[in-house]
């Protein structure tokens, strides 16, 4: 598949953004979204791009956490091909 050849060359990386709960509702029901990004992008770059594409998320974003590959992150992290960045709205389990 072409996108994987590009990633191996280091020119484009494909990552996924995951949406849950209120975030999922605000992006029209989307649960996962593929992003082709440039090498060197951090999670912060991707977060800015997500807000740009989905401006309806703005109010909610302030209350959210983010998780990279199923672990919470508390600051910018480097991204690599195949990474999953999840937007975590305030949780309510238990």
Which residues are at the interface with another protein (CB under 8 A)? 18, 20-22, 62-65, 67, 70-72, 74, 86, 88-94
Q: Which is nearer to another protein, 50 or 86 (CB)?
A: 86
> Smallest distance from the beta carbon of 61 to another protein, in angstroms?
9
What string of H, E and C letters represents the secondary structure of the chain? CHHHHHHHHCCCEEEEEECCHHHHHHCCCCCEEEEEECCCCEHHHHHHHHHHHCHHHHHHHCCCEEEECCEEECCCCECCCCCEEEEECCCCCC
Least Cβ distance, residue 90 to another protein (angstroms): 3
């Amino acid at each position: 598949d072409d996108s994987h050849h590009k990633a191996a060359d280091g020119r484009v990386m494909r990552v996924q953004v995951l949406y849950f709960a209120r975030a999922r509702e605000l992006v029209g029901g989307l649960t996962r979204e593929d992003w082709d990004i440039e090498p060197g992008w951090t999670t912060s770059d991707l977060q800015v791009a997500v807000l740009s594409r989905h401006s309806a998320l703005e109010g909610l974003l302030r209350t959210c956490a983010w998780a990279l590959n199923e672990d919470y992150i508390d600051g910018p992290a480097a991204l690599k091909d195949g990474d999953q960045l999840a937007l975590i709205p305030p949780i309510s389990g238990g």
